[in-house]
Amino acid sequence: MPDATLSPISANARSERRSARNTTPPTAVARRAGVGAWVVVVALLLLIGYLQAELWASDGPIRQAQELRDAIEKQRDVNNALQARNDALEAEVIDLKSGLAAIEERARSELGLIRHGEVFYQVVRP
């Protein structure tokens, strides 16, 4: 069992052995580790900031997606206008196929058709 009382020589010998093993004090090691951690944190924050700027401000995927949404909206408007025109033409084709009244009306308005026995009056405005 070791002696509870230590002589001054043995205490000095122990501290010299400790100092030979650890050349830097523990607080300096902790400070260096803390500075290194801050450098890593700052570098990561700068990297995240740069990536966010590239994502939102450049011609990145978000801007391209918005441009595609705008192009789709314009094309839908054009398609709706063309669909309305096609519906009107389809109704006219059905009307022309179904009876002679529509054909006669179109011939009168576009070609100036006059039947036998009808009198043509032209009104001239002053």
| SS3 sequence of the chain | CCCCCCCHHHHHHHHHHHHHHCCCCHHHHHHHHHHHHHHHHHHHHHHHHHHHHHHHHCCCHHHHHHHHHHHHHHHHHHHHHHHHHHHHHHHHHHHHHHCHHHHHHHHHHHHCCCCCCCCCCCCCCC
The tens-digit pLDDT sequence of the chain (126 residues) is: 555 555 555 555 566 665 555 565 556 555 666 777 888 889 999 999 998 887 777 777 777 888 999 999 999 999 999 999 999 999 988 888 887 888 888 888 888 888 889 888 888 998
Kindly state the tokens that stand for 38: 């801050």
Give the model's pLDDT for residue 55: 75
